[in-house]
Amino acid sequence: MDAPIVQASRLRKVYQGANAVEALRGIDFEVERGEMVAIVGPSGSGKTTLLNCLSGLDSFNGGQVVVDGQDLSTMSDRARTAYRRDHMGFVFQAFNLLPVLSAVENVEIPLLLQNLNSRDSRRRALEMLETLGLAHRANHRPDQLSGGEQQRVAVARALVHKPAVVWADEPTGNLDTEVTQVIVELLVRMNKDGQTIVLVTHNPQVAERARRTVRMRDGRIEKAEAGRVEVSA
Ligand SMILES: Nc1ncnc2c1ncn2[C@@H]1O[C@H](COP(=O)(O)OP(=O)(O)OP(=O)(O)O)[C@@H](O)[C@H]1O
Ligand SMILES: [Mg+2]
């Protein structure tokens, strides 16, 4: 069998400062290739910190993180940035689309950053938007799109360069129930097509659709369980 695509061991993260916070207190966590994992737990338990450390968005203070065979612990900041750009996809609660760019221009950013030529970048971005049912909104700017449409554009941007892992932090946090459903089913569909997805959520209906749920508390993983979960905020 393949090695897990994400392997973290004894991962520690301390936010330094007047009031230092030990946000991750020795995390062991693995994600299999093709899995969809939900991370749940109370506010402040370290979910975002864990996602940021595993995905190369943030550095950490101890332990090891290996993603798709690459050891993030030994990478320079610069190498980690390049790795993240080329091999990771991100979806955030606040969509984080660039306001002056159209939908298709937002989606093609990861491809252009990989130096794909502009014609192929445009073609693949349009194909991705079409897959997500948004071809008719390709030339709209984010302020001309609904919240759900903006998040679908963000999902398209996260997936377009076929990342090793898509990381989603509260991807439905700003969306109503109906639109949440659309986004979740989209992620489930992409996962069925083989995309590995790790998402953080407070929403039990969202967590339920993942194949596995991991619960955090006070910087530790409490327990791993399959199937249904109770989620407390
Ligand atoms: N930049 C920072 N500097 C100092 N402390 C931080 C920083 N970011 C987070 N923390 C602290 O680290 C802990 C974990 O925060 P984190 O954002 O990972 O929690 P979370 O589980 O994502 O919470 P939420 O569900 O509210 O998003 C919290 O106690 C928080 O106050
Ligand atoms: Mg968070």
pLDDT by residue for the chain (233 residues), tens only, comes to: 689 999 999 999 999 999 999 999 999 999 999 999 999 999 999 999 999 999 999 999 999 999 999 999 999 999 999 999 999 999 999 999 999 999 999 999 999 999 999 999 999 999 999 999 999 999 999 999 999 999 999 999 999 999 999 999 999 999 999 999 999 999 999 999 999 999 999 999 999 999 999 999 999 999 655 554 445 44
pLDDT at 2: 80
Quick check: is 135 in a domain?
A: yes
Quick check: is 104 in a domain?
A: yes
pLDDT at 221: 97
Judged by its nearest atom, the ligand closest to the C-alpha of residue 216 is 1
DSSP letter for 193, please: T
Mutate to test the pocket of ligand 1, among 14, 29, 49 (most ligand atoms within 8 A of CB): 49
Domain of 126, in residue numbers: 35-51+85-226
Quick check: is 68 in a domain?
A: no
Nearest CA to ligand 1 atom 18: 46
Stated pTM of the model: 0.92
Quick check: is 110 in a domain?
A: yes
Non-local CB neighbours of 74 within 8 Å, separated by 6+ positions = none
pLDDT at 177: 92
Quick check: is 56 in a domain?
A: no
CATH number of the domain that residue 100 is part of: 3.40.50.300
Judged by its nearest atom, the ligand closest to the C-alpha of residue 39 is 1
The finding on whether 219 has its CB within 6 A of some atom of ligand 1 is: no
Quick check: is 113 in a domain?
A: yes
Nearest CA to ligand 1 atom 1: 15
pLDDT at 233: 45
The finding on whether 24 has its CB within 6 A of some atom of ligand 1 is: no
The finding on whether 148 has its CB within 6 A of some atom of ligand 1 is: no
Domain count of the fold of the chain: 1
Q: Using alpha carbons, select from 208, 165, 150, 197 the residue that is nearest to residue 37.
A: 197
Quick check: is 12 in a domain?
A: no
